Amino acid sequence: MTTPQADAPATGRRHTHARVLAKCEVAPRHFALTLSNSGIARTVRAGQFVHVLPHSRENEEDTGWSFDPLLRRAFSILDAREDEFEILFRVEGRGTRSLARAEVGEWLDLLGPLGNGFSLSQASRSAILVGGGVGVPPMVFTARALSERGVESQMLLGARSAADVLCEDKFTSLQIATDDGSRGHHGRVGDLLESALQEQLPDMVFACGPYPMLRAVAHICAAKNVMCEVSLEENMPCGIGVCNGCVVPMRPSEDILEGDDYGRFRRICVHGPACDARDIDWT
């Protein structure tokens, strides 16, 4: 299994289709789909995502299918190999409920790979990965890509409870925190990060998860002067930079404002989802 070159220029968005090769309920309300699409699998980088129409159809040519729901949903790539890639999602609302009904052999309509992906080249020796909830899947790909570059990574995984711990078998170095204490550290994953940074400072921290978790991670890293990239999971109605539905406020700075059409706001679907944590206005 080889990873496409991280930090290479983005290949640009593609409208394409992918066949469902496997489906697995990995935890209550959480489904992993293995999808067949060599164009995506061979070019995607850790931290990029696909934008999926949340309903499946029986064959690739079928045009008599519904556009309801109309908007695509964004999912990070969990991992990719040769001609296949995986996504893992939690059933939240209408779109993910519908996607969970996709059957093996059916087809999905998607755009991808989208987004910038993590700046893996910023880590030369070691990195800490922090994932919370459905922010864990992109860390699987990130850990493998870093390992292929000879970078050691340690995964800090946050979940609500033991039942919600995702992908633990995919990480070689792992610590777990649960909100209810049913597994690992009783508390927030940020506590684990603070302890890890007491021991050793990594080149980079890469994080993905709920906004409050990312804000805490950003503050912890800033206090220790450790570089941190966060992957934001804002709602993305269009995914291609035209609706402004995904904008996030940035700290006012000349560098940041330069070249952006939206003043203090960045469209995360095109300028992210991975962002330097110091650039974001977390207030």
- Total Cβ atoms within 10 A of residue 269: 27
Told to check if 90 binds ligand FAD by CB under 6 A, we report yes
- Closest contact distance (angstroms) between CB of 236 and ligand FAD is 4
Told to check if 74 binds ligand FAD by CB under 6 A, we report yes
Kindly report whether the peptide bond that precedes residue 113 is cis, defined as omega within 30 degrees of 0.
yes
Told to check if 70 binds ligand FAD by CB under 6 A, we report no
DSSP annotation of 254: H
- Total Cβ atoms within 10 A of residue 2: 9
The closest alpha carbon to 208, from 162, 259, 268, 253, belongs to 268
Told to check if 57 binds ligand FAD by CB under 6 A, we report no
- Pick from 53, 273, 275, 277 the residue near ligand FAD by CB under 6 A: 273
Q: Report the C-alpha gap between 234 and 210 in whole angstroms.
A: 9
Nearer to ligand FAD, 49 or 85 (CB): 49
> Both tokens of residue 210?
């709920």
From the list ligand FAD, ligand FES, none, pick the one residue 239 interacts with, judged by a Cβ distance below 5 to 8 Å according to partner type. ligand FES
- Total Cβ atoms within 10 A of residue 252: 10
- Closest contact distance (angstroms) between CB of 50 and ligand FAD is 9
- Pick from 134, 151, 230, 274 the residue near ligand FAD by CB under 6 A: 134
- Closest contact distance (angstroms) between CB of 10 and ligand FAD is 14
Nearer to ligand FAD, 177 or 248 (CB): 248
**Residue 79 main-chain phi, psi, to 5 deg:** -170, 165
Task: Identify residue 177 by its one-letter amino acid code.
Answer: A
Told to check if 25 binds ligand FAD by CB under 6 A, we report no
Are the C-beta atoms of residues 248 and 282 closer than 8 Å to each other?
A: no
Q: Which residues bind ligand FES (CB under 6 A)?
A: 236-239, 241-246, 267, 269
From the list ligand FES, ligand FAD, none, pick the one residue 92 interacts with, judged by a Cβ distance below 5 to 8 Å according to partner type. ligand FAD
Are the C-beta atoms of residues 161 and 178 closer than 8 Å to each other?
A: yes
- Taking CB under 6 A as the binding criterion, the range among 1-9, 84-92, 166-174, 178-186 that sits at the site for ligand FAD is 84-92
Q: How far is CA 64 from CA 40, 51, 58, 99, 275, in A?
A: 25, 21, 10, 18, 39
Nearer to ligand FES, 255 or 261 (CB): 261
From the list ligand FES, ligand FAD, none, pick the one residue 101 interacts with, judged by a Cβ distance below 5 to 8 Å according to partner type. none
- Pick from 5, 26, 93, 195 the residue near ligand FAD by CB under 6 A: 93
From the list ligand FAD, ligand FES, none, pick the one residue 241 interacts with, judged by a Cβ distance below 5 to 8 Å according to partner type. ligand FES
**Residue 103 main-chain phi, psi, to 5 deg:** -110, 155
